[in-house]
Amino acid sequence: QVQLVESGGGLVQAGGSLRLSCLASGSISSIGTMAWYRQAPGKQRELVAEITSGGARNYADSVKGRFTISTNNTRNILWLQMNSLKPEDTAVYYCVRNQYFQRYWGQGTQVTVSS
């Protein structure tokens, strides 16, 4: 089993920055894709950014140039640096880890951007 715990969410004004963290524990593997998803009220959950075990990064068009996904050498911590935040970035952000054909989700952390 894998446990994921997010932190770093909060309330920020538009134009501000936040850094989300996700700490993984348990039977974690260095192989697999890690990602951040988000879900805004009344909307479907969407992929924000992902990073492969090879280090390739993909971003949703809505966050390109503003968000950066990264991880440490042991791949047990995942970060999402969010700059130039907009009110439409308001959502619950989830950390996701894919390994051994299983997907693990964190409990989510709320990000609220005020205008």
Going 103 to 89 to 71 to 107, the CA torsion angle's sign is negative
Please give the single-letter amino acid code of residue 87.
Answer: P
The closest alpha carbon to 33, from 103, 98, 95, belongs to 98
**pLDDT above 70 coverage of the chain, percent:** 100
Instruction: Output the CA–CA distances (angstroms, integers) from residue 65 to 6, 36, 43, 83, in the order listed.
Output: 23, 16, 23, 9
Q: Tell me what pLDDT residue 13 has.
A: 98
- Is it the case that residue 35 has pLDDT exceeding 90? yes
pLDDT computed for residue 30 by the predictor: 80
